[in-house]
C-alpha cells in the first residue's frame, strides 16, 4: 500500500479581515470545547501530564486557562478553516439584524 501523502488546499494567498480575526478566536475556543467535550465523554479527566493509558490530559481546562501554545494550535485550525472557506469562493459576513 502506498503511503498517504496529504495535499491540503493552498490558502497562502488568502488574508483574513479584522472581523474574521475576531471570529477566529471564537472558533478556536469552540474547537477546544468540542475536543474537550468528546474527551470527557470518552472518560478522560484532567491530569498534570498526558497519559493515554489512564486517560489523563493536561488540556482538559477552560480555553482561557490553556497555555498559549495550545490556544495557538486551535487558532491555526480555525484560521485554516476560514481561509479554505474563502478560497472556495464563499463569503463570511454577520447576519443582518432587523432594525
Domain count for the chain: 1
- Per the structure, the complete domain to which residue 39 belongs is given by 18-88
Q: State the pLDDT confidence band at 95, using cuts at 50, 70 and 90.
A: confident
Residue 58 lies in a domain: yes
- Write the CATH number for 61: 1.10.490.160
Could you tell me if 71 and 28 are in contact, meaning their C-beta atoms sit under 8 angstroms apart?
yes
Q: Answer yes or no: is 5 within a domain.
A: no
* Region 66-76 average pLDDT: 97
Dump pLDDT digits (tens) for 4-24: 999 999 999 999 998 898 899
Phi and psi at residue 38, to the nearest 5°: -65, -40
Q: CA 41, CA 52: separation in Å to the nearest integer? A: 15
The rounded percent of the chain whose pLDDT value lies above 70 is: 97
DSSP-derived 3-state class of residue 37: helix
The answer to whether residue 64 is domain-embedded is yes
In a domain, 11, yes or no: no
Rounded to two decimals, the pTM is 0.86
Position 70 in a domain? yes
- List 46's β-bridge partners, or say none: 57
Amino acid at each position: 500500500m502506498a503511503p498517504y501523502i496529504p495535499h491540503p488546499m493552498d490558502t497562502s494567498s488568502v488574508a483574513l479581515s479584522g472581523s474574521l480575526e475576531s471570529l477566529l478566536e471564537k472558533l478556536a475556543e469552540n474547537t477546544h470545547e468540542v475536543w474537550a467535550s468528546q474527551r470527557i465523554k470518552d472518560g478522560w479527566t484532567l491530569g498534570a501530564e498526558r497519559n493515554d493509558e489512564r486517560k489523563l490530559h493536561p488540556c482538559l481546562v477552560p480555553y482561557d486557562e490553556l497555555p498559549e501554545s495550545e490556544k495557538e494550535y486551535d487558532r491555526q485550525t480555525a484560521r485554516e478553516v476560514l481561509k479554505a472557506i474563502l478560497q472556495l469562493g464563499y463569503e463570511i459576513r454577520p447576519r443582518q439584524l432587523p432594525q
